Amino acid sequence: MTDVVLNAEGLGKHYLLRHRIAGYDTLREKFGENLRRLTMAKRALPGPREAALEEFWALRDVSLQIRQGEVVGLIGRNGAGKSTLLKIISRITEPTEGRLRMRGRAASLLEVGTGFHPELTGRENIFLNGAILGMPKTEIRAKFDQIVAFAEVAQFLDTPVKRYSSGMYVRLAFSIAAHLEPDILIVDEVLAVGDAPFQKKCLERMSEVAAMGRTILFVSHNLGLVRSMCRRGILLEHGRIVCDDFVEVTVARYLEGLEAMASSNLLERTQRRGTGSVRLCRIDIRDANHVITSSIAAGQALQFVFYATRRLPALTCSFTIYDSVGQAITCFDSALQCEPDPANGADVPPFVCELGELFLTPGRYRINAALYCRDELLDHVESAAILDVDPGVSGTRPVMATPGYGSVFMPHRWIGPC
């Protein structure tokens, strides 16, 4: 087909991980390693260094075709290989194996402000950043007014950007990128910035770019956004494509995977963020009679119980409930309500969050949970628990599933016409 703009055949990227403490590669280490190899080779013993080397395929056997004008969502957990794939496509790094054929120019929407120089003024940065993103000077000139208007920074054009508010900074950076017109636009998790109206503007701009027949590769953890922007979704897991289908199918597949994970022991999870000094080890859902369960009828009372490995002063717990399509529904934070409890001894009491009545419609929900200590993230586990909500009754009103029409219900009454 002639309108295939991107054709990957068996792409793979291989890294050698060296487990060590220091971040820098230094010559001393390199020499030491070579020396050890030389001496060890005779005795055929692996040196401690070689034992610490680990092969890691960030990407393996990835084959895909993307056609002109497609808007493709790439989803997957952290470390699944999304960024590596995008890096190969944007030529930042080269694949270890396989081949990629590409037609036209690819440009990526960078993390906000990459290449911005704080000492330069807004005007100077527009030109510099434009050049960095691959826009010819004539094109930047032609679009200069549009960029300024989009970013709403006209007053501050001759102020160094280091004096900008973070909102202005983000708007200017995005605005330059938004006026790029490459054949393939790569958007990697950059829309998570700015205030809501600005985000809306960004999305509109992306839709415009898509409507112009340009190809967009979109990476985001916001599944709602992926579903609304893209028609096709690709799911990566451990560096391989596991699903390449309509975005709804792919998102559903991804969520299934997350749910499967939720049933495993929390401490065994490796996909977590935070310092790790305290970890979540168990999450229970208890019904009105304090019996542990996995499903609750809508409208019933329940408790979420979070067990941490240890107790710290000022330790707080927060969690968010997501619906079956990955949209956040509501969140809870122990820091907002009570004074942090004082530390007490070896006994580790759990965090208990009690809900008098569950206002969720029937369906499956996922819970991401986190532990904080004074704004420092200690532990964050995605899909830490699954909550199944069964049909139930709220007051005298039955609560049924309302797929596609939201997942929250509110106690209410109708004042009839009669």
User: How far apart are the C-alpha atoms of 282 and 269, rounded to whole Å?
Assistant: 11
For residue 106, what is the DSSP state? E
Residue 109: beta bridge partners? 187
Q: Which is nearer to another protein, 4 or 352 (CB)?
A: 4
- Rounded to a whole number of angstroms, the minimum distance from the CB of residue 61 to another protein is 14
- Rounded to a whole number of angstroms, the minimum distance from the CB of residue 46 to another protein is 24
Q: Which is nearer to another protein, 87 or 279 (CB)?
A: 87
- Rounded to a whole number of angstroms, the minimum distance from the CB of residue 136 to another protein is 6
Show the CA angle centred on residue 259, arms to residues 257 and 261, nearest 5°.
Answer: 75
- Rounded to a whole number of angstroms, the minimum distance from the CB of residue 91 to another protein is 4
- Rounded to a whole number of angstroms, the minimum distance from the CB of residue 227 to another protein is 13
- Closest Cα partner for 294 from 263, 265, 325, 270? 263
Q: Which is nearer to another protein, 100 or 266 (CB)?
A: 100
- Rounded to a whole number of angstroms, the minimum distance from the CB of residue 70 to another protein is 6
Q: Which is nearer to another protein, 137 or 273 (CB)?
A: 137
Q: Which is nearer to another protein, 218 or 322 (CB)?
A: 218
User: How far apart are the C-alpha atoms of 253 and 409, rounded to whole Å?
Assistant: 26
Helix H or strand E segment including 384: strand 376-390
Q: Are 16 and 51 in contact (CB under 8 A)?
A: no
Cα radius of gyration (the chain): 26
- Closest Cα partner for 385 from 374, 373, 370? 370
Q: Are 203 and 126 in contact (CB under 8 A)?
A: no
Q: Are 320 and 294 in contact (CB under 8 A)?
A: no
Q: Which is nearer to another protein, 132 or 281 (CB)?
A: 132
User: How far apart are the C-alpha atoms of 417 and 212, rounded to whole Å?
Assistant: 50
Binding site for another protein (CB under 8 A): 3, 5, 15, 24-28, 30, 65-71, 87-88, 90-105, 108, 110-111, 114-115, 117, 119-120, 124, 127-128, 131-134, 136-137, 160, 181-183, 210-214, 231-232, 245-246
Q: Which is nearer to another protein, 137 or 397 (CB)?
A: 137
Look up tokens 């494509």; give the residue: 241
Amino acid, single-letter form, for residue 160: P
